[in-house]
Amino acid sequence: MTTTRRLGGRVRIVAPRRHGPEFSAQQTWSELSKNIKEIQNHNACNLSFEENHRFAYNMVLYRQGEMLYKGVKSLISENLEYLLREQVAPVFPSGASQESLQKSNEAEMLLKALKSIWDDHLGNMSKLGQILKYMDRVYTKAAEVPETWETGLTLFLEHIFRPPIKEHVITAILTQIEFEREGYTINRSAVKGCVDVFLTLQTSAGGPTVYKEDLEPALLKKSRSFYEAEGKRLLISCDAPEYLRRVENALQAEESRAHHYLSSQTALPLRQILQDCLLTAHLGNVISMENSGLDVMIDTDKIEDVARLFRLYSMVPTGMTCLKRALKDSISRRGRDINQSSLSVDWDEQDDAQGDNSNGKGKGKSKPAASGVQTLGLALKWVQDVLDLKDKFDIVWKSAFGSDRDLESALNEAFGSFVNVNSRCSEFISLFIDDHLRRGLKGKTDTEVDLVLDKTITVFRFLGEKDVFERYYKGHLAKRLLLKRSVSDDAERGMLAKLKVECGYQFTQKLEGMFNDMKVSIDTMNEFRNYLQKPGISKPCIELSVTVMTATFWPMTHSNSPCTIPQQMNKTCKQFEQFYLSRHSGRRLTWQYSLGNADVRVKFKQRKHDLNVSTFALVILLLFEDVKDDDFLSYKEIQELTAIDHTDLKRHLQSLACAKFKILKKHPPGRDVDTSDSFCFNSDFTSQLQKIKISTVSSKVETSSERRETRDRIDEERRHQTEACIVRVMKLRKHMTHNELVNEVTPLLAGRFQPNPLDIKKRIEGLIEREYLERCEDRKSYNYLA
Amino acid sequence: MADVEMRTESKDDDWVRIESNDGFSFLVRRRVANISGTIKNSLDTESGFSEAESKTYVAREYRGLIIQKLLEYMCFKAHYDKVGPKEEVPVNEFLERIPAEIVLELLLAADYQEM
């Protein structure tokens, strides 16, 4: 309201009526105090508010505020003491009873009584506050004392919430909570009422509440000891899934407890206690619990339990580390089993000539022929097992771990480590892919195969030595391409694209070169055929099909055995050579007989058969063309006539004489070919099939000597790669210290294999010798010499 | 009109009676009566003093003229409390309606009534 005042003319302001001498402080107070007592007896409805307000107003007005204030205070105190005596004291817990139900009932009574006098007190205080409003407005501020309402709370604190009553009440609340934790039902509202009192009262003006000061610490202490004991008890009595279920329930129960009848500010410390006592303290024990821990949960596909475990473990900081460790253990254990089973059967009969590069687990020489197929089976089984295991953990990871990135890397790490423990993992994976691209497509649809190959790529990612894989893959791909075993060109190219995505252009460059060679060869052959049609060119007596392979792209692991080929074959070969070199000058053609094969029609006694044999086998068979049916050629003669290496010769003789289709007869009969054996043409051969494929006996899985050779080649290749990498780096930097150089080179090579610093050092020394680099005077760094 | 308001603001919209010491009796909405802290407390149904029971507040120290002016102000305040900040409150017009003779008495009453 504005203060502008219009004082018009002559206006007389009449002074208000004086209250005069009739006012007596004593008398007013005695009236008022009587009425206050009435209010405390719940008889406010018989009292006039106006009258009492006027009493208080007058007392303040006549400067009797202090008397009023003190009088009211003492009246409140008296009333509180009275209430305490009448209502609370009778229900004090006897303390004699040990029975928990009884105790709980007693506690409830006390809490209810306390709540009821609190409500009573608050009601009184609000009425008094209304009557004494004028005092609060005028007197308390001037006298700097708390207003009626605050005074009421302080007095309650002083008279009711004092030792030992407060302790009794706290104990009662704790008793109730513990009773509920044990699974009984309690009167939550009674507890809540009392907790609210604790929450309302402050220890001092603006200070912490009594709840924070007294109740909460006691509550937390009690909870800690309860859950510590509970954790130990559950650990003994429950299995892991049950334990975790209980923990989750306890967490929910405490959460609801905190929000329903405690303070929400307690929820956090309570949760912390639960996590400390039930989770952090027992993480390791629960996860590795025998017959029910994480391992078993995964074994039995208890996704829900695993998910719960993840939920709970991700709450506490150490939980993830523990979970990761357990997962790694679990995977490496399973991985060990898979490795073991692939090794144990295979290498039951360990050869003494064990490869010196073996990992000690027994990488002997496979029994070449017989166990070859079995070994292949094992290799496929190994990869399949790894894939299955990966699938299993992928499912767990997706459905139970919420696709957590952190865990994914832990899982991958674990897979990587056990896969790489198997020293032949690269070969096995390549074999697996080979198998699927060869025959797998027949039974499965394109998408299925694609899926399998995709999965294989995930395993491939674990490989530490990708260059080894590349070598094997190249070998297998070469076989598939040359023998036309690859079922689908699309699938091959798809696989290549996948590898390209994984390892980059460089990795697949040579593989693509192989595909290109195949394509160019087809064109070349068409041109060659057209060329032969031309007049004046002598028609060849055999049909020739040549695949021209670029030497650097194709693996050269196959044997380079010489071979004396018959005249008619040689002629056509020369014809092709002539044709080819006329179109591409400066190239050199080397015939790789060992990779070829031939279709030949053979006349047996009964009928003629079309045989598909390897080039070597054809050469051997052609020897028998001029030999009478019952005459023998000794091993030695054959060797001399064909000039084929012993190992290859034995292999091909074996496939002709000892395999499923016996085109030759061996004397004496037996499975293995010996240098003292002799052979004759088996003209009695019969078969229902017109076309017969004589597959060369070969072990697809490498023998140890082959493997040693592969290993050597790989080592050599690595040496080249390392050197190339060092030179590249040095060319760029010109000058580097040794450590810097090693640190620079290592990650560059890591995509293909794990380089050893010592090897790098050797390469550096090699380069210094060849004067690509020079050692600086400080003996620690190098200069690049252009 | 009153009925509609009764329904929408039933809690504050019942009628209460204010009586002066010289026999005048005024009926106002509770909402208006609540402008005065003292009258509000006396009629507070929670506390349940006899005034609240009878919905009647007897101002024994004040004559009808004073009560009337108080109530006039209370209505004025209750009305203009609700209007937006843009609307001008005609304070001066109200001030002109206060006779100078009763200013002091009115002031004391306003103090007592906690306005």
Between A96 and B96, the higher pLDDT residue: B96
Taking the C-alpha atoms of residue A641 and residue A624, their distance in angstroms, rounded to an integer, is: 11
pLDDT for res A362: 36
Q: Which positions in chain B touch A50 (Cβ < 8 Å)?
A: 42, 51, 57-60
Q: Do B42 and A15 touch (CB under 8 A)?
A: no
Are the Cβ atoms of A47 and B60 closer than 8 angstroms?
no
For residue A93, what are its two tokens?
């817990």
Taking an 8 Å cut-off on Cβ atoms, the answer to whether A49 and B50 are in contact is yes
Q: Which of B58, B101, B114 sits opposite A13 (nearest CB)?
A: B101
Among residues A94, A74, A92, the alpha carbon closest in space to that of A82 is found at A74
Buried b (16+ CB within 10 A) or exposed e, A691-716: ebebebbebbbbbbeebbebbeebee
Closest to A433 (Cα-Cα) out of A368, A366, A385, A491: A491
Task: Give the one of A6, A47, A137 whose C-beta lies nearest to B50's C-beta.
Answer: A47
CA–CA separation, B69 and A48 (whole Å):
24
- B27 confidence band (pLDDT: 50, 70, 90): very high
Residue A180 has pLDDT above 80, yes or no: yes
Nearest by CB: A49 against B51, B92, B95: B51
**Cβ contact (<8 Å) for A6 and B95?**
yes
How far apart (Å, rounded) are the C-alpha atoms in residues A120 and A114? Answer: 10
Closest CB to B41: pick one of A2, A14, A130. A130
Q: Which residues of A touch B44 (CB under 8 A)?
A: 130
pLDDT of residue A440: 55
Q: What are the chain B neighbours of A16 within 8 Å (beta carbons)?
A: 104-105, 108
For chain B, the farthest-separated pair of C-alpha atoms sits apart, in whole angstroms, at 42
Q: Which of residues 20-59 of A touch B (CB under 8 A)?
A: 44-50, 52-54, 57
Which pair of structure tokens corresponds to residue A346? Answer: 């295979």
* Mean pLDDT of the region A174-178: 87
Q: Quick: pLDDT tens for A428-481.
A: 888 888 887 776 555 667 777 778 888 888 888 888 778 788 888 888 888 888
> Best residue in A7, A23, A47, A49 to probe B by mutation, most B CBs within 10 Å?
A49
pLDDT of residue A3: 42
Residues 6+ apart with CB under 8 A from A317: none
Segment holding A755, helix H or strand E? none
DSSP-derived 3-state class of residue B35: coil
Long-range contacts of A101-104 (CB under 8 A, 24+ apart): A101/A184, A103/A175, A103/A179, A104/A175, A104/A176, A104/A179, A104/A184, A104/A186
Q: Which residue of A6, A15, A133 is in closest CB contact with B38?
A: A133
What is the rounded average pLDDT for all residues in chain A?
80
User: Considering only CA atoms, which of A551, A656, A521 is closest in space to residue A602?
Assistant: A656
Give the pLDDT of residue B73.
92
pLDDT at B18: 92
Interval A209-248: pLDDT, tens: 888 888 888 889 999 999 999 888 888 888 888 888 888 8
- Out of A158-162, A572-576, B17-21, the most confident range is B17-21
Domain ranges of chain B: 2-112
State the pLDDT at residue A412.
Answer: 87
Minimum-distance CB partner of B104 among A16, A46, A133:
A16
| CA closest to B113 among chain A residues | A134
Count of CB contacts below 8 A, A vs B? 81
Indicate the length of chain A as a whole number: 786
Minimal Cα distance from B105: which residue of A? A16
Q: Please check the confidence at residue A365 and state whether its pLDDT lies above 70.
A: no
Specify whether the CB–CB gap between A648 and A616 falls below 8 A. Answer: yes
Residue A81 CA to residue A165 CA, distance in Å, equals: 12
Determine, for residues A14 and B50 on separate chains, whether the beta-carbon distance falls below 8 Å: no
Burial class (CB in 10 A: 0-12, 13-18, 19+), A309: buried
pLDDT-derived band at B67 (thresholds 50, 70, 90) equals very high
Q: What pLDDT shows up at residue A357?
A: 37
At A351 the pLDDT is 39
Distance CA A623, CA A614 (A): 14
Would you state the pLDDT for residue A358?
36
Q: Which of A516, A472, A488 is nearest to A702 (CA)?
A: A472
Q: How confident is the model at residue B28 (pLDDT cuts 50, 70, 90)?
A: very high
Contact A127 B47 (CB under 8 A): yes
Chain B contacts in chain A segment 158-177 (CB below 8 A): none
Closest residue in chain A to residue B111, using alpha carbons only: A134
ipTM: 0.86
- What's the pTM? 0.67
Give the model's confidence band at B6: pLDDT under 50 very low, under 70 low, under 90 confident, else very high: very low
The burial class, CB within 10 Å (0-12 / 13-18 / 19+), for B77 is middle
Q: Is the pLDDT of residue A6 over 80?
A: no
d(CA A620, CA A680): 11
If you average pLDDT over residues A722-726, what whole number do you get?
A: 87
In this prediction, what percent of chain A has a pLDDT beyond 70? 89
Which residue of chain A comes nearest to B96, CA vs CA? A6
Q: Above pLDDT 90, what percent of chain A?
A: 1
Q: What is the distance between the alpha carbons of residues A727 and A772, in angstroms, rounded to a whole number?
A: 8
- Give me the pLDDT at residue B4, please: 41
The residue ranking higher by pLDDT, A98 or A570, is A570
A137 touches B at CB < 8 Å:
yes
Both tokens of A225, joined, read 């000891």
Residue-level pLDDT at A21: 53
d(CA A658, CA A392): 44
What beta strand segments (E) does A214-291 contain?
A: none
Q: Which of A170-174, A307-311, A339-343, A704-708 has the lowest mean pLDDT?
A: A704-708
Tokens of A339: 């490795």
pLDDT number for residue A359 = 38
Which residue has better confidence, A389 or A596? A389
Is-contact B69 B26, C-beta < 8 A? no
The pLDDT value given to residue A685: 81
Instruction: Note if the bond before A217 is cis, omega within 30 degrees.
Output: no
> B12: helix, coil or strand?
coil
Please list the residues that pair with A611 across neighbouring strands. A600, A692
Please give the radius of gyration of chain A, using alpha carbons only, rounded to the nearest integer.
48
Average pLDDT score over residue span A103-124 = 87
DSSP string, A34-74: HHHHHHHTT-GGGS-HHHHHHHHHHHHHTT-HHHHHHHHHH
Strand pairing class (A691-693; A608-614)? parallel
Reading the block at residue A42, the tokens are 């719940």
Chain B residues in contact with chain A using a Cβ-Cβ cutoff of 8 Å: 37-38, 41-42, 44, 46-53, 57-61, 91-92, 95-96, 100-105, 108, 112, 114
| DSSP structure string for A77-146 | HHHHHHHIIIIIGGGS--S----HHHHHHHHHHHHHHHHHHHHHHHHHHHHHHHHTHHIIIIIHHHHT--
Of the listed ranges A92-101, A730-739, B94-103, the least confidently predicted one is A92-101
State the nearest Cα–Cα gap between A20 and chain B, in angstroms.
14
CATH code of B2-112, in short, is 3.30.710.10
Is residue A164 reached through a cis peptide bond, with omega within 30 degrees of 0 on the bond before it?
Answer: yes
A781: part of which helix (H) or strand (E)? strand A781-784
Confidence band, pLDDT 50/70/90 cuts, at residue B10: low
- Measured between alpha carbons, how far is A373 from A385 in angstroms, rounded to an integer? 18
CA distance A744 to A729: 8
